[in-house]
Amino acid sequence: MPDILSPCSPISTEPCRVGGLTLALAPPDETVSIGGFRNSLPALHEAALQALGASLPQTPGTATRAQDLSILWAGPNQWLASAPSGSGLMEKLQAAFGAHAALTDQTDSRVTLTLSGPYAHVIAAKLVPIDLHPRCFGLSSVALTLAGHIPVIVVQRDLEPSYNFIVFRSLVRSLHHDILAAMQGGIPKSEQN
C-alpha cells in the first residue's frame, strides 16, 4: 500500500539568489543525536571508531567526517550525526553502539540552509557572532550559537567558503528571512578592499 502521507518541505526548495550569493534548502539528511551514557563512554568511543571509522569529537566546537557521515560536537558527550537520506543512519548507529548511547532521530527536527557564493562569510558575520576567519574556523569547526534571536548550528561546508545553518524546523522561515535580509543588505564596503 502506498504511503497515505507525502512529505512536505518546511520552506520552498527554490534557491534564493542575491547578486552572486545563493541561499538554498539543503537536501534533507538523516540526522541522529547521540547522547553518550556516562557509564559506557569508553565503549562508545571505541565502538564509534570500529564501526564508523570516525571518532566522536571530544573537543567542543569541532566536527569529524568520514565519507558521507559527519559528526558534530553538540554538547558534553553529545553529538549530532548526519548522513544522506536513505543511508539508514539510525540502524547503523543502533548496531554500532545502541547500548552505549541514547540515539534520537532528529531528521525532522532540524533543517539546513546553505549560504554560498562570494563573500558568504561576510553575510554570515551579519548573523552569527562567530569569528569565521580561516585562522579560527574551518571545515572541522562547528559553532552552536545564535543567529540574531534564533539558535543555530553553523558549519563550514567547503573552502569557497559556504556555510550550513542548521536550525529547528519551526524556525526555518524566520531564519531564511533573516539570512535573505542580510544578503540584500549588501557587502560592507570595508570588505571590498
Partner 1 sequence: MNDLSTSPMSRTGHAGKTQPMRLARGNGINGDTTIRFTFDGRVLEAHPGDTLASALLANGVRLVGRSFKYHRPRGILSAGPEEPNALVELRDGARREPNSRATVTEVFDGLAATSQNRWPGLKHDLLGANSLLAPVFSAGFYYKTFMWPASFWEKVYEPIIRRAAGLGRAADDADPDSYEKATAFCDVLVVGSGPAGLAAARAAAGTGARVILCEQDSLTGGRLRAEQTVLDGRPGWEWAQETEQYLRAQPEVRIMTRTCVFGRYDGGCYGALERVADHVAVPQAGQPRQRLWRIVAGQCILATGGIERPIVFPDNDRPGIMLAGAVRAYVNRFGVVPGHQAVIYANNDDGLRTAVDLHDAGASIAAIIDSRLPSSTAAQVTARRVGAPLFAGGAIVKTSGHTGLKAVQVRDSAGQTHRLACDLLAVSGGWNPDIALATHHRMHPVYDEVLNAFVVSSVPAGLHIAGFAAGSLTTDAALAQGDALGRTAAQAAGFDAAIGPAPALPRAGQEEGYAIAPLWHALDRGAAKQAGRAFIDFQNDVTAKDVSLAAREGFWAVEHLKRYTTLGMATDQGKTANVNALAMMAWERGRTIAQTGTTIVRPPVQPCAIGALAGTHRGRHFKPHRLPPTHDWAVETGCVLTSNGIWQRAQWYPRPGETSWQETVNREVRSVRSSVGFCDVTTLGKIDIQGIDAATLLERVYVNAWRKLPVGRARYGLMLREDGFAFDDGTTARLGENHYVMTTTTANAGAVMRHLEFCHQCLWPELDVQFISVTDAWAQIAVAGPRSRDVLREIIDDSFDLSNEAFGYMGAAHVRLRGGVAGRLFRLSFSGELAYEIAVPARYGDALARLLMRVGAPYGITPYGTEALGVMRIEKGHPAGPELNGQTTAHDLGMGRMLSGRKDFIGRVMAQRAALSDAARPTLVGLKPVNAGDALVAGAHLLPRGAPASAASDQGWISSSAWSPTVESWIGLGFLCHGAQRHGEIIAVHNPLAGTVTEARVVPPVFVDPEGSRLHA
Of the candidate residues 1, 13, 59, 159, the single one contacting partner 1 (CB under 8 A):
1
The Cα 183–Cα 109 span in angstroms is: 26
Cβ within 8 Å of residue 31, ≥6 positions away: 80, 81, 82, 89, 105, 106, 107, 109, 110
The Cα 113–Cα 28 span in angstroms is: 10
Fill in the per-residue mask, 40 to 79: x = in contact with partner 1 (CB under 8 A), - = not in contact. Answer: ------------------------------------xxx-
Contact region with partner 1 (CB under 8 A), list: 64-72, 81-89, 158-166, 181-189: 181-189
Neighbours of 87 (CB within 10 A): 15
Indicate whether 128 belongs to the interface with partner 1 (CB under 8 A).
Answer: yes
The Cα 93–Cα 136 span in angstroms is: 31
Which residues contribute to the site for partner 1 (CB under 8 A)? 1-10, 18, 28, 33, 35-39, 76-78, 101-102, 104-110, 122, 125-126, 128-131, 133, 136, 148-150, 168-171, 173-175, 177-178, 181-182, 184-186, 188-191, 193
